[in-house]
């Protein structure tokens, strides 16, 4: 019996998200996921868009199947990541949002707010996100409208 390897996960955070990113990285590695830590690697002040763009590029390029971003609120990194055409980043504060974002929106990047989400909740959200599966079907038409193409305003 062969099992498929777990997908690679790209991680990124700013200074506010740095401690929580370390917790998530450790949990992912312990679960057997290849982890691509794109920074920051220290608690000194940095600009969150730099890390959000790096994670988004890694997911778009296929280096990682999913991305996880952490900043103080999760809002800044989610806005930055969603500027990339191939990214569907969800800001989740509880597991159900993470589950539904995978099922209905085929989300490929998860954003978390380190100042708003405790470690246990963040781990539960991450597990729900990674366990989710896109349902397709009725969601395909809606998802197509999110993809920048000729005729779509995105």
What positions carry a catalytic annotation?
71, 104
Q: At 69, give phi and psi (nearest 5°).
A: -120, 145
From the list 101, 57, 104, 115, the residue with the least C-alpha distance to 81 is 57
**Helix extents (H) in 5-136:** 18-31, 48-60, 75-81, 95-105, 119-131
Distance of CA 40 to the CA centre of its chain: 15
Q: Give the CA distances from residue 88 to residues 3, 19, 104, in Å, rounded to whole numbers and listed in that order.
A: 27, 24, 11
């Amino acid at each position: 019996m062969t099992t498929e390897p777990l997908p690679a996960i790209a991680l990124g955070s700013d200074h506010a998200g740095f401690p929580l990113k370390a917790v998530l990285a450790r949990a992912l590695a312990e679960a057997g996921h290849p982890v691509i830590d794109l920074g920051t690697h220290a608690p000194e002040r940095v600009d969150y868009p730099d890390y959000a763009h790096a994670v988004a590029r890694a997911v778009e390029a296929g280096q990682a199947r999913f991305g996880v971003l952490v900043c103080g609120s999760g809002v800044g990194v989610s806005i930055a990541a969603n500027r990339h055409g191939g990214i569907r980043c969800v800001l989740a504060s509880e597991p159900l949002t993470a589950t539904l974002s995978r099922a209905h929106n085929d989300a490929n990047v998860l954003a978390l707010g380190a100042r708003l989400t405790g470690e246990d909740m963040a781990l539960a959200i991450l597990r729900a996100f990674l366990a989710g599966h896109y349902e397709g079907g009725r969601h395909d038409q809606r998802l197509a409208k999110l993809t920048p193409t000729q005729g779509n305003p995105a």
